[in-house]
Amino acid sequence: MGNCPLQKNSSQYHLPFSIEKNSSPFHENNLQFLQKLLRLILRTMIKCHCAEVFFENILSVVKETNRPILEVAREMGAADTCTACVPDMVAFIQREMEGLSLAGNSNYR
């Protein structure tokens, strides 16, 4: 990535340094917010550009219906034309759904 201090590792970006809680003026809740904000800023895509469907909308339906990610996305018209959004969409939804078990969401095809 040239001179960029960020390194990409399996669909997530990692800073070459860490924020120590003890030396930081931020509380733990603020750190969690900043980490989430950083992930949002660095995420390559936030929507399926072909269908103009935001990952947040797909996430909402997945949470409500407990259905597989790609099934929901394709029903909404996303992830079916060029499929360039699929890795970022799946990674985003998995991060947001961390800790929840969704039947069928371990298979992305």
50-97 pLDDT, tens digit per residue, is 999 999 999 999 999 999 999 999 999 999 999 999 999 999 999 898
Computed over every residue of the chain, the mean pLDDT equals: 75
Task: Find out whether 13 and 42 touch, Cβ atoms under 8 Å.
Answer: yes
For a pLDDT cut of 70, what percent of the chain falls above it?
Answer: 60
Is the pLDDT score of 22 beyond 70? no
Give Cβ neighbours of residue 108 (< 8 Å, ≥ 6 apart).
69, 70, 86, 90
Chain Cα centroid distance, residue 13: 11
Is the pLDDT score of 3 beyond 50? no
